[in-house]
Every structure is written in C-alpha cells, then in structure tokens.
Structure 1
Amino acid sequence: MADVEHLLGELDLAEKVSLLAGQDFWSLPAIERIGLRSLVMSDGPIGVRGIGWAPDDPSVALPSPTALAAAWDPELAETAGLLLGQEARRKGVHVLLGPTVNLQRTPLGGRHFECYSEDPLLSGEIAVGFVRGVQRHGVGTTVKHLVGNDFETDRMEVDVRIGERALREIYLAPFERVVEAGGWGVMSAYNGVNGSPMAANGRLQDEVLKGEWGFDGVVVSDWRAARSTVGSALGGLDIAMPQLENPWGEKLIAAVKAGEVPEEAINQKVRRVLLLALRVGALGTEAAPEEDELDGEQVAHEVAARSFVLVRNENWTLPLEPAGLTKVAVIGALAMDARVLGGGSAQVSPPHTVSPLDGLRRALSGVDVEYAVGADPRPFLPALHSPTRVTIGTHEFEVEPAAVRWIGSLPGGLPMESVDGLRLETTVTPAESGEHTFAVSGFGTFRLKINGEVRYEGTLHPPGTGRADLLLSPREQRVTAVLRAGEPVSIVLEQTIVPGLAHSVATTLGHRPPSPDEDGLIAEAVALAAESDVAVVVVGTTEQVESEGFDRTSLALPGRQDELVARVAAANPRTIVVVNAGSPVLMPWAGEVAATLLTWFPGQEGGAALADVLLGAAEPGGRLPTTWPRREKDCPVLEITPRDGVVAYDEGVFVGYRGWLRAGQKPLYAFGHGLGYTTWHYDEIAVTATEAVVTLTNAGGRAGREVVQVYVGPAGADRDRPERWLAGFANVSAHPDETVTVRIPLPPRTWQIWDDGWTTVPGDYRVIAAHALDDERLESTVTIS
C-alpha cells in the first residue's frame, strides 16, 4: 500500500475524481505522470469482446454460464476462466465484467442463461473456479450483479424486498464466496434492495461487502446504474460507468468542495482503483500472463460436451452406433442456424460456429445426413450466409454471415465523429429458382439494392427511440425477389447511422430461400423422419424470447416446435430431441421421444461437441443446475411482475428446489438430474461434522464420469428450514468395475442459519449421497452440537 499512498499524494482532487468514472464506454483515463495507464473493461461471461464488438476482431465464444454450471466442475470453470484471461490479454482488456452469480429464482427470468444456478453453493463454487482462472492472467473479474438482479422487468427502477435471512443464506452467499476466494471486483446492480438503489446502498456495499467481508477490490456500477452524485459517492460505489450520463466528474468535485462528500471518501475509492491497476498491470510493471497458451476451440468443445445434460435415454437409444446408420434426419431451424450464445451483454462475434447439422455431417461422412426445417420459431430471418464486404468510413473487412454488430469503439479504430454510415455488399448465386425473401434489421435509415434496383428505402426506428430499445428490440423489413438458380445476384445494403449512435450498431441482412408454408415444412420433416434410421430434432428459444432486457412471458417453446417434435416422434420411434435453450422450457412431448439432450447455448463448437456426444465419442457430462418443471403452474416461484415498483421475495429461503420440496410438487426433471453412458453403484458413505466420504463403483461397460452430490437436512421436521440442501459435490471418473473414493468437505456454514449472525443449529442431520436431488443412493446421520 506504500506505493499506492505515495501515488495518491501526487494527485489533485480533479485527477482523483477522473479515475472514478468512465472516460468513454469501457475505460478509465490514464495519468501518465504517475505511470498509470488506462484501465480497460469488457463484457465477458462467455467471451471477451474488447472495447468494441468489431466483427473483424472475433472472440472465442464459450458455452453459456448455465452450461458451465451444468458441468458441476470448478476445475473446468477455472480452465474456461484461463482461456478468457488469455483472450482479455490478447485484446488489451484489464477487467472482465463477470461472472454473473444472480440466482435463477424463477424460470421466467429472461437473462438466466447468463447465471449459473438456482443454488447458491453451486453458483459460488463455479464462480470461484472461473475467477481464479481469469485472475491467473493478471486480469480482474467483476462478479455481478450485487444483488437481487434476478429478473429483467423494470430492472432500472424496481425495489427488491429480501428478508435478511434469505439475503444472507441465498442471494449474497455466492458473492461472499467469490470475495473470500480473492475476487478483485464487484458490479453493483441496477435495482434497489430494501428501499435503497444498489449503486447507493451503503449498508450492503460498505458495511457488508467492504466491512464484514473485508473486500479490498473495486465496486463498479452497472452501466448507467449510478444515478445520484452524493448518494452513490457515500454508498460504497468506487467507479461509475460509462461516461454517458455519468453523475460524477464535475458534479462530484463540486460536492466535495461543498462538504457534501468528504475528500477522504474520494481517497478511499482512488486507493482501490490504484490497487486494481497494480494487480492488472496498468500501473508500473505489466502483469505476466500464464506461460501455457490454451487452444480456444478445444476448450470450447470440452466445456460444451461436459455441459450437455442427457435427461432421457429410453432403451439406451444413445449413444448411436455409426456403423448401424445409413440415413439420419436432422430437423429444425436451429439445427442449421444454431443459437450458440444468449442475447445482450453476453454476446460476442465468434470466428466461426459449428451447427448441429455441420457437426453431424462431418462426423458421419459415410452416412446420408439429410436436413429439413420442420418448424422455424425465429421472428426475424437468419443472416444471409455469403461472404460479405463491409465498408465503414475508410475501413473494410469481410464477414460471414451478413451481420455486423458492435458497442463502443468502432472497427478499425475509426474516430466516432468520422462515421455516419456503413455498407454491406455481397454476391449470391441461388441454389434454387423462385421467390427469395430478403430482410433488413437494425436501427437507422437503410437502402437495399438487389441487382442495382432499390427494393427498400426507409427508417426502421422512429425518432426518439430509446437506447435500450434500439439495441434489444430491433425492427425488420422484408422484400421478395424472384431469382433464377445459378445466376449471380448483387446485393448492397447501405445504412445511415442514427446521429450520435455510431458506437452502437446491430445490422443484419437476412435471407430465406423459396420454401413451403408452415404446414408444408412440418410435413416435409415428418416424411424425412419416417424414412430415416434416426431423427435428430433441434428445438429451442430465440433472441426475442431469451435475452437481456426483458423476461419471458411463457416457458413454452416458441412457434410450432412442440407440434413438430410430437409428429416426428410419431413417425420415427428413434427420435432424439436436442434442446437449444439457456434455461428451462416446457416439454409436453417428453414421454414420447426416445432421448432428450439439453445443450444450453453451446458456444462456437457446439455442433462438433453434439456429434461427439450423440455418437459416443464423449459422454454427456452435465447435471441440471436448475429444476425443469412439467407445468408452469407447478413452479413454487414464477411471477416477477413488480407491484407498485416492488418485487417481494416472500418465499424467503425456499428458492429453487428448496421451494419444490416444500410444495411437494414433482418436477419433470429435478435439480442435479442427468444420465451418462454407464451405471454407478454407490457402495459406502462415512460422515463427520467436517466431511462426507463416499465410495462408488462404475458398474457399467464403459468409462464414465459421475457427479457425487451431497445433500443435508434436519433429521426431524423443521418448518423454518428446507427439507434438504446441497452441501457439497465432486466429480469422479472411473473405468468399468473400478472403485473410487471421494472426500467432500462439509464446512461450518453447512449447519448454520443467519439469525443476527451466523448461528449453528444443533441436532441430528441426514447426510445423503445422491445422483440427483430425487435419486438418493446412500444416507448417514451426524449429530451437530
């Protein structure tokens, strides 16, 4: 701290305050005379964007955070973190804005794909692994969003009312675990908690986070979450982001001079910023990266395969035997145009994506793999798959498919004021004759020319449209053109950018070839399935259903996908359904199909990993990190609509599976559920107050991996406590007939509740070794005094 104190003394008030607010969208200013370089931040739950979103500088796209949690493996999470730390260093980023440890309190949460789990212990342990991996590269993490940002509706204004016990035992617990493990940053949420906006919540940010927990890192606001000058300055916030609509700067200087904010409060914030700069190599010596460089494709592939959850496998339908296949039907719009990542701040531009269709065709080179759309749930046309030249100002680059998107700095490092438009240009040669549909989506004024003829000219967003609506709710305009197969067609899309919004662009040139109507598409898929050895149907959600910025209105799959699955399953008893969704969906056909595999948003290598799992080259390694309901009305917590600006967490600690157990409802698939390609026999359990020792044997015919889950609960009835809760877990691997033993720690918090402090509750406890919450294998009793 001596160096920090010396440097602090070198700064005047204006310089100090300048270090506490964004100088642009992603960074803090440099002060060269003290050797401080600009601190750069970036979104990054599944990849590292960098200071823009430039498609000419792609980012490795890992599977979604729900997928990472589904692997139940902190070491794998650390590997993912190591890769993203490496990516951050490559892109000149010092601080990664993640991980997200808000809880999946209700399955309607639209951003739950970015959160790990409904359980605080699983969320915390996966987050700790991720944070350790990133920070090994000298890149800071920012665990988010402290606290109660468990839904999107009215997130900027809503006040979340959480009782103290639930706050401590459930919602703060994963944040506390990350702080305990040495995380360097925390992000303050948009919402309020118990009457105070989080960016100005001194009780939680100062008293609890910095005081009780001893957190020595920085608290940064979510973007535009800091809305008061004095309140946020006195409420524990250290950095207000971004520059846009920032309440600090000259206003904070004036507040200090007026005596409303003590200068020592400013000094405390600057100390934390300087310490962060030292840690990430932006002050003095640059941080040394890890020596061993990871292969991004390999890590993305491994995480995907390890995350897939096989929830149904009747008569050992999977794995498929390639030698027994002659014709495979691959069905579903998402089989060809896979949704590999969620919407909002979790988006990056990957170098490529492997779709399920691509992955299976590569893996089954000697098999006839045919495709049918079946049902298309997407309200917007997919981007045209054609090499497309993009011109913005004096900078040119190529993309495929025809979509460009960025937030922050412009591609090529162009100055913001030099750009007022962009141009996409490509030539396509249709494979079939007929009426082709093209679409423009984005915000701004557009002109679409097909073979030199203007086919659309207009503005998709009216003047005065809000920034959030521009980014999260784009519009689309479609036109048709009759084209002939084999004849090249020139396509040019010109866009005039909304004044002042060159830093935010999301433009897509969409395309759909001639096709039957909805009934015809389903009929084609059913016919293909009937004549194939096996049918693989890929269904899922769209960006208009699961994304940052809004919550879901239903858990049903959009469009006619449920009908598609039911009709294909009726035509082919060997129907395998792949669910491409970031969080729970309803599956009314669950008992009618041979196998169901959940692949979350699987990242850029998802299709390759899927082929490996379906064909047995890899075992589906995932277990559910959240409960999947049979019906919406069965969920113990569902609605999230604020009433008079408030959402009350009246269920207390009975969140997720804790609530399911209390209600006595049986879900479709329980927390922790997941099948592998072998069977496990649990042999013995020995328990003390500090650990559970479990011995088990791989009783199947192939090597496999098991997630041993330990649950504890009061031996007698206790209305104030859940029936049981996750106390620990561990991954084990074994060959056929091999016996392994695993030790799972049971820390003191296992037996404690919050009652004006952490208090051990004495008595007898059941300690259960389980394959899943509803699949108990061994049990013992321990007495806690």
Structure 2
Amino acid sequence: MKLTLALAVLASSSPVFAGIFSSSPQLNKRAELAYSPPFYPSPWMNPDADGWEEAYAKAKDFVSQLTLLEKVNLTTGTGWASEQCVGNTGGVPRLGLRAFCLQDAPMGIRGTDYNSVFPSGLTAAATWDRGLINKRGYAMGAEAKGKGVTVLLGPVAGPLGRAPAGGRNWEGFSPDPVLTGVSMSETIKGIQDAGTIACAKHWVGNEQEHFRQVGEAKNYGYNISETLSSNIDDKTMHELYMWPFVDAVRAGVGSVMCVYTQVNNSYGCQNSKLLNGLLKDELGFQGFVMSDWQAQHTGAASAVAGLDMSMPGDTEFNTGVSFWGTNLTLAVLNGTVPEYRIDDMAMRIMAAYFKVGKNLDEEDVNFSFWTLDTYGPLNWAAGKNIQQINGHVDVRENHGALIREIAAKGTVVLKNEGALPLKKPRFLAVIGEDAGPNIWGPNSCDNRGCDNGTLALAWGSGTANFPYLITPDSALQAQAIRDGSRYESVLSNYAWTYTQGLVKQANATAIVFVNANSGEGFISVDGNEGDRKNLTLWKNGDDLIKNVSSLCPNTIVVIHSTGPVLVTDWYDSPNVTAIVWAGLPGQESGNSITDVLYGKVNPSGKSPFTWGKTRESYGTDVLYEPNNGEGAPQQDYTEGVFIDYRHFDKADAPLIYEFGHGLSYTTFKYSNIQVQKSNAGTYRPTTGETAPAPTFGNFSTDYDDYVFPADDFPYIYQYIYPYLNVSDPKKASADPFYGEEASEFLPPHALDNGSQPLLPASGKNAPGGNTQLYDVFYTLTADIENTGDVVGEEVAQLYVSLGGPDDPKVVLRDFDKVRIEPGQTVQARFTLTRRDLSNWDPVTQNWFVSEYPKTAYIGQSSRKLDLEAKLD
C-alpha cells in the first residue's frame, strides 16, 4: 500500500527515524541518535564479476523469458506454512522451475527425519581445521540437497559474539573475525559445492536476542515500539563485524540474510547503507539479500534499499498480507520500483541458483517442516491438498563418522594435571545430568527448548531432530566394560547422598558433566530469554563440581556450553585434575568425548573465545532492559573493535584461559621464525563507472493482464500471489494516496539507472572489495617440534601488532594446523595480506596501512607467543 510504503522510505532516510555510520567513539548521546545515511540507487549485478560469469549468463537467459508476475513470484515468499519448508517462494512452472525451498540450517536440516545433527559452528571453529570445516559444510549441503532444499539458511557470522552471554553465539564460530571469516568461507564452499545455495546471516549487528522483535519483547513484558538499534561506527563495522562477511562474499555465497534489528536506527532489511552501500557496492556481492522471517517492514522502501527476497512473505505469520506480492507488482507497474530493480532481484536469485550447479529439473521437496506424518496437507496453513508430504528420505550417508571426528577435534582440554588420557581406570564414577539422556527423548522439547540430559544442541531455529544421540554415560560405560573397569553413574545434579557415597570411595576417578545452555529469543528456558542471564553453570553445576572435588582427589570436569562460563571458583583446586570443554558436539557426543578422554584422539582443539574471571571482565554484555523509553532500545558499541581477547589485552583484565588456548597429550616447541617480504605494488583506489542498469524484457502496462486468473485457478487460503484482485490499481492497492509520483517520497537517486561511480574500496569485477587488499605482503614460516612421545596436531597461530595507539595489542591474522610425529619438526606456513595490515579510514572511505611499526608473533595462543619478528 502506497501510504505504508511512503512512510517506510522516510524511516530509512530521515534523521527523525533513522540513524549515521558515525566515526565518533561516543555514538549515542540520546539527544542525537545514531544515524545511517541513505545510499542509492541499489547496485545491479555485474556480468563480469569473478566466479559469476557463467551463472549470470544462464540467469539472463532465464530471466529474459519471465513475465513481471513470474519475477515477482521469485522474490516474494508465499507465506508462513504455505507449503512444506520454513520458507517458500513462488516458482515458474511454465519454464520448469519449482518453488524455492528455504530451510534452517546451522547444525542440520530442521524439522525433518533421517538427517544428521552436526557439531555447532562454535565447536567446528574450535578445531581450527579448514579441511574439517569444509567437509562439515559439504555434508550439510549434501543432506539439504537430498531433502530438496534450495537454500540452506547458514552459516552464521552475526552474532559474531560481542556479548559472551549472547543466546545464538553457538550458531556462529568465534568473536574473532579472522577465525569466523575462515570458517564462513570454508563452510560456504562446502555447502555450495554440494549443490545447495548457502546463506550468510545475519547481516549485520545481530548480537543479542533481547529486543530483536517488538512482538517477542512484548510477550516478555517489555514495552517497546521499535526493535533494538545496534549503533556501530564505520571503523568498527569494517574492521570487525563486516570482516567475516567479506570472506563469505569472496567465497561466492549465493545469499545473505538481513537482520531483525536496526543498525544505527534504520531497520536492517531496509537500511540502504548496509545493503546498497556496503554489501552490494563496496563488497560487490552478486547474490540476493533475503529478509529474516518477518524482518521486512516496508514494500517499495525495502526494494530500492536493496532487499531481493521477502521471507516468509507475509507481513505477520498467517495473515496472507504482504508488503510485496501484489504490492510489488503494482509498484513496478506504476514506477515506484524501477523496472531494472525487479529484473536485478530476479537475476540475483537465479544467478545464485545456477552458480551452485542447479538446473531446471531439481527433485521435489520430500519432507514437511510442519509434521513428520507421512500424509498431510501440502498447503499446511490452509489445510489443503492432502497427499504424501514426507518421503522419510535418509540423507545421512556416513556423516556420523565425520561428526564424531569434528566433535573430538573441537574438544578443548583447558587443564590437565596428568589425569588424562584415561588408561583403564580401576573405578570410573560419572556424575551429573549432563552425562545422561533426556528421559522424554532427545527430540521431546520443541525446538530443543529445554535443558534435560546431556547438552549436544542448543535451542531455536538452528536446531535439528536427532536421528540418535550417543550420551557420554552410554559411551563411557561401554568403554569401561571393554577395559574391565568398574563403572557407576549418578545422572542427577542434586542426588548428593548417592553422589557422595560414590565419589569418596577408594580408587575413584570422577568425571563431572555440567552445562550452560542458550538459544533463540522466541523460547525462554528457566528465565533465559534466548540470551543467558549469567555466565554460571546451569542446574547447580558449580556446587556439584566443588562438592565432588572436595571428596575425590581425581576429579575431571567436562563442560558442554554455548560459550564461556565462569570457572573461577573451582578451576585451580588441586583436586580438579582436568577441565575439558566439549562445546555442542551433536549426535556423536558420547563417542567423541570418550575418544578424547581415553586418548584415541589426541586433543588439538583451541578455545575460540576467552575464559574470563568475572562476567564484568569481558567489558561487553547483553542489554537486558530497555533504555530509550518506549522507543527503540539503543545498544551502543562504544568498545569499538575491543571485544573478547582484544578487550582483555587492552584492559589488562583478569582471565583464566586465553583465546586460542588448548592442551595436547604431547608437547611442542616453536623456533626459527622466518619472514619473506613480497613485492606487492602500491595500493590504488578503484576508479571508473559501472555499466548502466540492464533490463531483460518489456512487460505490459495493462492492469487487466495482472488480475487473478479465471475461476478455475486454485486459490489457496493465506497463500501470497503476485496477482491483482481487480484491474483498478487504486482499488487493488487499497491506498487512498495511490497515484502520487514516486519522486515525491522516494529518497534522491533511488530510481537512477544510469552508470554509477565505483567506490574507491570496491573491487570492480572482484567480489570482496579492492583486489589489492589481498596482495600478499609477507610469507612467514616457523619450525614446530613435537617434543613428546605421541603424534599430535598443533594449531600454530599468527598474530600481528598494527602498532597504532588505537589498535588492539595483537590481532589474529592466520593459522596453520600441522600434524607432527614424536621427535619430528615440521614447518608451519602463514601469509599476511595488505588487508591483514590495514586500518579503515572513515574520512577517505578506504583502507590504508599506517606508518606505525608492525610486528608479527607466532605461538600457541593469544598469550603464548613464542616467536616475534619486526615487519619492514
């Protein structure tokens, strides 16, 4: 409706409603909210973009044949529960293209059966293993393709992990942008090599669950009228939060999901600076931008601001009302949305489709997200078209072995006083609910919204149904039986009488399993509204550890968690002989932890985050209470790039275990750092212009051609169509202001379709920004010797000091995981690019290498940097 659309455009460009990418360290003084400047027009695809040429040509051939209605059909979701997937678009049956199926994602195919549950992104990142992360992505992509999924809604770089208590940090990889960027890149390559479109989400600043949606917040009793605004300055945006998304774009990701929240007081899915300026122009993203589910707030405004696909299509679930669909058809016909823009939307969607090797003969979706019943309504919300909707297709292949390997190699041994590896212990006592099963079954809690039994998966849309779940209790008992050990377990955190009687017995080795859970904001567990209330262990876990270790001199602690927990009260007890973080390991949980505890796998995991002494020591936290009256809560990122280890280094804050820390059952010695300088040229800003916006075929402007088809066309209740109800556009729009010129309310240049100047930091034909950013400046090597008596894998880490007074002490820039036999010395290899040594200049809007002296460090963690070299 045009009135709605007009007001919505103002909301994305006016200082009254919106906010700028300010470079000021004090972003929000309440009197003047952060502001996001308009950026128009929306950039169109580049036929010469590296890696997209063939996909572009195929998409052009296809889109050139489409009617306007078919183009709108591709861009608009058909509504919540309209068909079998969590998100569906319209198809183009005339040309053999079935509707897109969009499905969650980060740990497995959500809501299906005979699928795998993989380790979380956080656990995968703890492997620091590019190959394993890629294999994980490929397996997930293959399972999605086998179910008929078109777009897998992952991986995740937002949240990055600004707040350690953030509910969905586990879906992503690490608060370090380089480790997350590598993980994003490898995951995307794997997913798309398997023939499924990946979706990098959530772009950008989606760092907490509180206040991400107004309705959700009101359900919890908060009185707000707009979602939270993440207020991020330009330098921090480029040097921290954008960084992993750059790697996603360079990896060729097909789609990006924009956020629920506002960024600098402009909604993420209509924020022209984020979508047009940063993502599509500066980074040269060639795929399509989709909204998060119900994150679209406007019609024409979001279209010209860079949104390409509306999900799930309806303004609110099951209303049948859409900002697009009919309204988008009208907006193109009356010129409110330019013709090139609808063509570009369709081009981006189809180019992503063809880029991953898809053809027009894709198999049908063989599951229903809404039920595991074999038969039911194809159109779930309408209850229509009863048929077989679940084929119960088994897509798991041999992925269980891969899951077991990733979970074991992502397990981090934080402390070991000789207690590990276990060697046929005489008496093994396993304590804690986290070692055992959910007595109602592993899939009994909706979207895993509980904390019953062992924690192998957190809650929310990032979940999947377990095909089975190996508990630590069952796997450890099986191992003990094979070894001839005595084995008993107490699978409760509160059965102290029984636990006490067990662990104080002679020869007892006690393993205490504890956890801390979190998830997405639409579910609250024990008062944790997505985000964790605190960083302590759940269900009295800390007291359980202290009580057991007070009686048993050989107490091993295993932690399953969605991020850091506070271990301050017990980690240094002499009776706590080992501490192991096992993350969220997925379906092979018990087998993987048994492999590590018994030394079948020599641990090589390194912590992807810092373990602080106190909650306050992290310097950043979730905003738990509204702070702007009934308006949008304001979350100011005043810490800039200083999160996690960067903050701890700057503040000299107390910590227990540093970022990158992790022990092995062998030892390593670092020596002989060597630096070879490359002959990189001088950095030159990109110049020139784009080609004019292309259009692909004319369309009729006769409104009669767009009216809903004849009576024999099957209308589905709540299904969103591109058709008009009547041929009178004003009546079809139900807008009393219909007929006003778009130029009266659209921002300047929103309708421009001529050649546009290239941004200095853009890449011309290379997605990911100026190509010279990736020139190699230095190649470094270091010798690493295995000085122990077992074969091991070591993650050698390269950090850099950029030297400036406003720079972190060190930043991770590369890593190399090497396998070393006892007594063997191998060479680890690293590279430093121009990007690695650069800072962002908000004034020139470009990257530069400062004149401050640069130093490279190589070592075992962010605080154990054995080798140092000055960079010339």
TM-score w.r.t. length of structure 1: 0.77
Q: State the 1:763 CA deviation.
A: 3.7
Q: State the 1:274 CA deviation.
A: 1.7
In 2, Cα distance between the equivalents of 1:6 and 1:547? Answer: 53
Which AA in structure 2 matches 1:540? Answer: N
Q: Which residues in structure 2 correspond to 1:15-34 (within 5 Å)?
A: 15-23=70-78, 24=82, 25-34=86-95
Within the candidate set 150, 159, 169, 1:112 is matched to 169
In 1, Cα distance between the equivalents of 2:309 and 2:528? Answer: 23
Answer whether contact 2:802 2:837 (CA < 8 A) is retained: no
Q: State the 1:639 CA deviation.
A: 4.1
Is 1:58 the counterpart of 2:114? The answer is yes
Task: Report what 2:782 is aligned to.
Answer: 694
Within the candidate set 631, 638, 663, 2:614 is matched to 631
Task: Report what 1:278 is aligned to.
Answer: 354
Answer whether contact 1:42 1:95 (CA < 8 A) is retained: yes
Runs of 5+ unmatched residues, structure 2:
1-55, 214-226, 316-321, 364-394, 438-453, 519-523, 677-776
Is 1:215 the counterpart of 2:280? The answer is no
Q: State the 1:285 CA deviation.
A: 5.5
Q: Tell me the SS of whatever aligns to 1:317.
A: coil
Task: Report what 1:235 is aligned to.
Answer: 305
Task: Report what 2:498 is aligned to.
Answer: 524
Task: Report what 1:13 is aligned to.
Answer: 68
Q: State the 1:666 CA deviation.
A: 2.5
CA deviation string 1:102-149 (max 9, x = no partner)? 211111111111111011010000111111111111111001000000
Answer whether contact 1:110 1:546 (CA < 8 A) is retained: no
Q: State the 1:640 CA deviation.
A: 2.5
Change (3 A) 1:619 1:733: same
Within the candidate set 336, 339, 345, 2:436 is matched to 336
Which AA in structure 2 matches 1:530? Answer: K
In 2, Cα distance between the equivalents of 1:570 and 1:154? Answer: 42
Q: Which residues in structure 2 correspond to 1:142-157 (within 5 Å)?
A: 142-156=199-213, 157=227
Q: Which residues in structure 2 correspond to 1:611-626 (within 5 Å)?
A: 611-626=594-609
Q: State the 1:162 CA deviation.
A: 0.4
Using CA pairs under 8 Å that are at least 6 residues apart, name the structure with larger relative contact order, 1 or 2: 2
Is 1:371 the counterpart of 2:359? The answer is no
Q: State the 1:776 CA deviation.
A: 1.5
Answer whether contact 1:331 1:538 (CA < 8 A) is retained: yes
Task: Report what 2:588 is aligned to.
Answer: 605
In 1, Cα distance between the equivalents of 2:528 and 2:150? Answer: 24
Within the candidate set 719, 738, 747, 2:833 is matched to 747
In 2, Cα distance between the equivalents of 1:205 and 1:155? Answer: 19
Answer whether contact 1:158 1:647 (CA < 8 A) is retained: yes
Task: Report what 2:183 is aligned to.
Answer: 126
Within the candidate set 810, 831, 856, 1:724 is matched to 810
Q: State the 1:200 CA deviation.
A: 0.6
In 1, Cα distance between the equivalents of 2:526 and 2:825? Answer: 42
Q: Tell me the SS of whatever aligns to 1:551.
A: coil
Q: State the 1:774 CA deviation.
A: 1.0
Q: Tell me the SS of whatever aligns to 1:132.
A: helix
Q: State the 1:89 CA deviation.
A: 1.7
Q: State the 1:548 CA deviation.
A: 9.9
In 1, Cα distance between the equivalents of 2:239 and 2:75? Answer: 32
Answer whether contact 1:343 1:547 (CA < 8 A) is retained: no
571-580 or 201-210: which moved more? 201-210
In 1, Cα distance between the equivalents of 2:362 and 2:147? Answer: 15
In 1, Cα distance between the equivalents of 2:526 and 2:583? Answer: 12
Answer whether contact 1:685 1:693 (CA < 8 A) is retained: yes
Give the strand-richer structure, 1 or 2.
1
Task: Report what 1:84 is aligned to.
Answer: 140
Answer whether contact 1:39 1:277 (CA < 8 A) is retained: no
Is 1:350 the counterpart of 2:491? The answer is no
Answer whether contact 1:110 1:545 (CA < 8 A) is retained: no
Q: Which residues in structure 2 correspond to 1:374-385 (within 5 Å)?
A: 374-375=492-493
CA deviation string 1:41-99 (max 9, x = no partner)? 110111123xxx14xx2320111111001111121100101111111122111211000
In 1, Cα distance between the equivalents of 2:525 and 2:618? Answer: 19
In 1, Cα distance between the equivalents of 2:528 and 2:259? Answer: 14
Answer whether contact 2:133 2:183 (CA < 8 A) is retained: yes
Task: Report what 2:627 is aligned to.
Answer: 643
In 2, Cα distance between the equivalents of 1:739 and 1:262? Answer: 62
CA deviation string 1:277-331 (max 9, x = no partner)? 32345543659xxxx99611101100000000000101x1100111xx2221111
Runs of 5+ unmatched residues, structure 1:
376-517
Task: Report what 1:47 is aligned to.
Answer: 108
CA deviation string 1:571-604 (max 9, x = no partner)? 1111000001110111121112110000011100
Within the candidate set 547, 554, 564, 2:544 is matched to 564
Q: State the 1:218 CA deviation.
A: 1.1
In 1, Cα distance between the equivalents of 2:426 and 2:61? Answer: 74
In 2, Cα distance between the equivalents of 1:151 and 1:764? Answer: 36
Q: Tell me the SS of whatever aligns to 2:75.
A: coil
Within the candidate set 300, 317, 324, 2:419 is matched to 317
Q: Tell me the SS of whatever aligns to 2:866.
A: strand
Task: Report what 2:868 is aligned to.
Answer: 779
In 2, Cα distance between the equivalents of 1:549 and 1:169? Answer: 30
Answer whether contact 1:711 1:768 (CA < 8 A) is retained: yes
Is 1:757 the counterpart of 2:846? The answer is yes
Change (3 A) 1:525 1:43: same
Change (3 A) 1:134 1:6: closer
TM-score w.r.t. length of structure 2: 0.70
Answer whether contact 1:345 1:548 (CA < 8 A) is retained: no
In 2, Cα distance between the equivalents of 1:6 and 1:551? Answer: 46
Change (3 A) 1:166 1:546: farther
Which AA in structure 2 matches 1:522? Answer: W
Which AA in structure 2 matches 1:349? Answer: N
In 1, Cα distance between the equivalents of 2:613 and 2:513? Answer: 20
CA deviation string 1:196-237 (max 9, x = no partner)? 111111112112211122211111111111121122111111
In 2, Cα distance between the equivalents of 1:680 and 1:328? Answer: 30
Within the candidate set 661, 679, 682, 2:649 is matched to 661
Q: Which residues in structure 2 correspond to 1:254-265 (within 5 Å)?
A: 254-265=330-341
Q: State the 1:733 CA deviation.
A: 0.7
Answer whether contact 2:197 2:353 (CA < 8 A) is retained: no
How many pairs align?
625
In 2, Cα distance between the equivalents of 1:613 and 1:189? Answer: 38
Which AA in structure 2 matches 1:327? Answer: F
In 1, Cα distance between the equivalents of 2:627 and 2:818? Answer: 46
In 2, Cα distance between the equivalents of 1:660 and 1:581? Answer: 21
Q: State the 1:547 CA deviation.
A: 11
Task: Report what 2:688 is aligned to.
Answer: none
Answer whether contact 2:97 2:361 (CA < 8 A) is retained: no
In 2, Cα distance between the equivalents of 1:614 and 1:328? Answer: 12
Q: State the 1:708 CA deviation.
A: 0.3
Change (3 A) 1:3 1:132: closer
Q: Tell me the SS of whatever aligns to 1:681.
A: strand
Change (3 A) 1:283 1:27: farther
In 2, Cα distance between the equivalents of 1:134 and 1:547? Answer: 35
Percentage of identical aligned residues: 34
In 2, Cα distance between the equivalents of 1:670 and 1:545? Answer: 29
Change (3 A) 1:649 1:77: same
CA deviation string 1:219-275 (max 9, x = no partner)? 111111112112211111111111342421112222223332112211110111122
Which AA in structure 1 matches 2:666? Answer: T
Task: Report what 2:20 is aligned to.
Answer: none
In 2, Cα distance between the equivalents of 1:367 and 1:556? Answer: 33
Which AA in structure 1 matches 2:489? Answer: Y
In 1, Cα distance between the equivalents of 2:869 and 2:664? Answer: 26
In 2, Cα distance between the equivalents of 1:2 and 1:295? Answer: 36
Q: Tell me the SS of whatever aligns to 1:563.
A: helix
Answer whether contact 2:564 2:611 (CA < 8 A) is retained: yes
In 1, Cα distance between the equivalents of 2:852 and 2:646? Answer: 20
Q: Tell me the SS of whatever aligns to 2:572.
A: helix
